[in-house]
Amino acid sequence: MAEMWINMGPQHPMTHGLWNLRVKIDGETITEAEPVVGYLHRGWEKLTEHRMYPQIIPMADRLCYGASMSWSHLYCLTAEKLMDIECPERAKYIRTIVLEAQRIGSHLMWLAALGTDLGSYTIFLYPMRERELFLDLMQNLCGARMTYNYPRIGGVRNDVPANFERDFTRVLNHFEKKLKDYEALCDESTIFRMRTEGVGMLTPEDAKNLGVTGPNLRGSGVDYDIRRDDPYDAYPDIDFNVCTRDGCDAFSRYRVRIDEMYESCDIIRQAIKKMPEGPHRLKPPRNAPKGKSAWAHVEDPRGEGLMYIIGNGDDKPYRLKVRSPIFVTVSASPVMLKGYKVADVPSIMGSVDMCLGETDR
Amino acid sequence: MEQRSGLAPGGLSPEDIAAKIKEKFPSGVTVTSVAPHRVFAKADRGALLQLCNFIKDSLNFEHVSCVGGVDWPAENKMQTVYHITSYANCATLEVVVDLPRDKPEVDSITPLWGGANWHERETYDMFGIVFLGHPKLERILNPEGTEVFPFRKDFVTGRRV
């Protein structure tokens, strides 16, 4: 049979955003794949060159609606390095807590999306239900459900609300029980395992060379986590495990994220316990030095997020470069897809956790 | 699970990495500063590929975090900025390469690390920096057929293209 190209996207239930996966198939087998991105390109990096430093924080939220806290935090962290300030201890702990809550929220949204991809409506509904609890916590903290605009250059916007500790503890205790349900729902489902086990193989060598990061990298058995290996904020004081799996397939990537959610609960509990009293914010300088550059990278829920800023002597950056984890991971998708069937595409791409806002910027 | 602390056994510290780079490249590469988990360097255009080969083969740098471009019309130059990470040493090397603005060409590092592929394509797309030896240097975020390089400083935002 002749080979032919199929466009999966830009409008396709598999894509979770606006992008196009071109696959070349021989019968049902994928022989070549080519992701096409750029449909959502807004010129984000150029836009920042015309904004004052604090004005970029809400823009950074919009890089990824699923993990907006980690992007605005990354921007603030980079700007702090550029301006040579360090945020107060209490702010570091608050940031650690909200980042981990964001990681759980983002992973839950991913699990829900994977559920719809694989045709299990229950795996969609349950995580969405529990994600709502974390959105409520965030709303209590800063008033917004998804685009928080909460970190600030030099700290966080406001101190934690009353009953913050009680609410978090309640939600985490409830959530950990529910997480066991999800595990049972997925791990013991024959359909789920058949569709994820042994598909989308990504060897550790390929994963490293192709720049795949985050849970996808750890699902290939590479033991690297920026939170531990280049720690920022309060992570140096917190004891946690880095979750890895050696399966290298879609199922391993799913397992890594489930394990990470347990670890995140643990990190939040530790951080709440250790959180010191004190100011939550300091006044940052308005301008950054001319020609000075700074960069920072963090463990985003999807992988390594990196920003690189150059100051211009005034209150606007000269250049701001963003490294988006999924932009690189999607470029590695042909390696994961080659040799599998068309029906495996949703589970392979679903296990990657696509987010187009940050990919196209 | 056994917990690995900040630096893996047998890993090199940033100071060691800086010393080895200095020893290997007496000219062409300048190590500007060293910080915890970070090494900052400037490289000549001609020395970049040799430096990358060296750090990949001898110093265990296996991951390209980022490749970006910067436009400096006042100084008539462009820059490419590389952030290359070593998982084994838990360190990231920043390399800045200056290019002449009228002929912005630099060797591609995609043959070494596939992770640089789309970063270099994007830098070409936005700045018009040509990466020699890149397997597919085409537009990626802008539509095909775009004739401008929008992230250059002399690009007038708001005009019709």
Q: Shortest Cα distance from B131 to chain A (angstroms)?
A: 18
Is the overall model pTM greater than 0.95, yes or no? no
| CA pair distance A194, A119, nearest whole angstrom | 13
User: Is residue A63 assigned to a domain?
Assistant: no
Q: Shortest Cα distance from A249 to chain B (angstroms)?
A: 19
Q: Shortest Cα distance from B143 to chain A (angstroms)?
A: 8
User: Is residue A168 assigned to a domain?
Assistant: yes
Of B114, B119, B141, the CB nearest to A41: B141
User: Is residue B108 assigned to a domain?
Assistant: yes
Query: Contact, A246 vs A219, CB < 8 A?
Result: no
User: Is residue A257 assigned to a domain?
Assistant: yes
Compute the C-alpha angle A108/A109/A110, nearest 5°: 90
Nearest-Cα residue of chain B relative to residue A304:
B65
Q: Are A209 and B1 in contact (CB < 8 Å)? A: no
The pLDDT of residue A233 is 87
Q: Are B115 and A210 in contact (CB < 8 Å)? A: yes
Q: What's the pLDDT tens digit per position in A169-210?
A: 999 999 999 999 888 888 888 888 988 988 989 999 999 899
Q: B105: how many CB neighbours lie within 10 A of its CB?
A: 12
The pLDDT of residue B1 is 39
Residues of A in contact with B115 (CB under 8 A): 209-212, 328, 331-332
Q: A310: phi > 0 → left, psi -120 to 50 → alpha, else beta; which?
A: beta
The pLDDT of residue B123 is 92
Q: Are B94 and A229 in contact (CB < 8 Å)? A: no
Q: What's the pLDDT tens digit per position in A96-155?
A: 999 999 999 999 999 999 988 888 888 889 999 999 999 999 999 988 888 899 999 988
The pLDDT of residue B9 is 55
Name the residue with tokens 């990190």: A267
Residues of A in contact with B118 (CB under 8 A): 327-328, 331
The per-residue DSSP string of A101-153 comes to: HHHHHHHHHHHHHHHHHTT-HHHHHHHHHHHHHHHHHHHHHHS-SS----EET
The pLDDT of residue B3 is 46
User: Is residue B6 assigned to a domain?
Assistant: no
Query: Contact, A7 vs A22, CB < 8 A?
Result: yes
Residues of A in contact with B126 (CB under 8 A): 45
Residues 80-139, chain B, touching A (beta carbon < 8 A): 81, 83, 85, 87, 90, 92, 94, 113-119, 122, 126, 139
Query: Contact, A322 vs A45, CB < 8 A?
Result: yes
User: How distant is the alpha carbon of residue B99 from its chain centre?
Assistant: 12
**Whether pLDDT at A158 is above 50:** yes
User: Is residue A82 assigned to a domain?
Assistant: no
User: Is residue B58 assigned to a domain?
Assistant: yes
Q: Are A323 and B94 in contact (CB < 8 Å)? A: no
Residues of B in contact with A321 (CB under 8 A): 66, 68, 81
What is the sign of the dihedral through the CA atoms of A322, A22, A116 and A253?
negative
Query: Contact, A179 vs A258, CB < 8 A?
Result: yes
Expressed in angstroms, the distance from the first to the final Cα of chain A is 40
| CA pair distance A22, A33, nearest whole angstrom | 6
Q: B94 lies in which domain range? A: 14-132
User: Is residue B8 assigned to a domain?
Assistant: no
User: Is residue B65 assigned to a domain?
Assistant: yes
Q: Shortest Cα distance from A163 to chain B (angstroms)?
A: 33
| CA pair distance B79, A227, nearest whole angstrom | 30
User: Is residue B149 assigned to a domain?
Assistant: no
How many folded domains does chain B comprise?
1
Q: What's the pLDDT tens digit per position in A120-132?
A: 888 889 999 999 9
How many folded domains does chain A comprise?
1
Q: Tell me the residue ranges of DSSP E strands in chain A.
A: 4-8, 20-26, 29-36, 151-152, 155-156, 293-300, 303-310, 319-323
Q: Are A332 and B115 in contact (CB < 8 Å)? A: yes
| CA pair distance B149, B123, nearest whole angstrom | 9
Query: Contact, B142 vs B157, CB < 8 A?
Result: no
User: How distant is the alpha carbon of residue B86 from its chain centre?
Assistant: 14
Residues, chain B: 161
The per-residue DSSP string of A197-240 comes to: TT-S---HHHHHHTT--THHHHTTT----HHHHS--TTGGG---
User: Is residue B71 assigned to a domain?
Assistant: yes
Residues of A in contact with B157 (CB under 8 A): 46, 50
Q: Shortest Cα distance from B38 to chain A (angstroms)?
A: 9
Of B101, B99, B96, the C-alpha closest to B74 is B101
The pLDDT of residue A251 is 92
Query: Contact, B86 vs B10, CB < 8 A?
Result: no
Nearest-Cα residue of chain A relative to residue B2:
A241
| CA pair distance B137, B131, nearest whole angstrom | 8
Q: Are A323 and B114 in contact (CB < 8 Å)? A: no
User: Is residue A316 assigned to a domain?
Assistant: no
User: Is residue A293 assigned to a domain?
Assistant: no
Q: Shortest Cα distance from A84 to chain B (angstroms)?
A: 14
Backbone angles phi, psi at B55, to 5 degrees: -70, -30
* H-only helix segments in chain B: 14-24, 48-58, 117-127
User: Is residue B120 assigned to a domain?
Assistant: yes
Residues of B in contact with A208 (CB under 8 A): 62-63, 87
Residues of chain B where predicted confidence (pLDDT) is lower than 70: 1-10, 159-161
Buried b (16+ CB within 10 A) or exposed e, A101-122: bbbbbbbbbbbbbbbbbbebee
Paired strand residues for A20: A36
Q: Are A209 and B113 in contact (CB < 8 Å)? A: yes
Residues, chain A: 361
Q: What's the pLDDT tens digit per position in A248-276?
A: 899 999 999 999 999 999 999 999 998 89
What CATH number does the domain containing B79 carry? Answer: 3.30.460.80
Q: A34 lies in which domain range? A: 4-46+87-287+333-360
Q: Is B30 on the interface with A (CB under 8 A)?
A: no
Burial bucket for residue B94 (CB in 10 Å: 0-12, 13-18, 19+) = buried
| CA pair distance A238, A225, nearest whole angstrom | 14
Structure tokens at B99: 């290019």
Tell me: cis bond preceding A58? Omega within 30 of 0 counts: no
Paired strand residues for B84: B64, B93
What CATH number does the domain containing A41 carry? Answer: 1.10.645.10
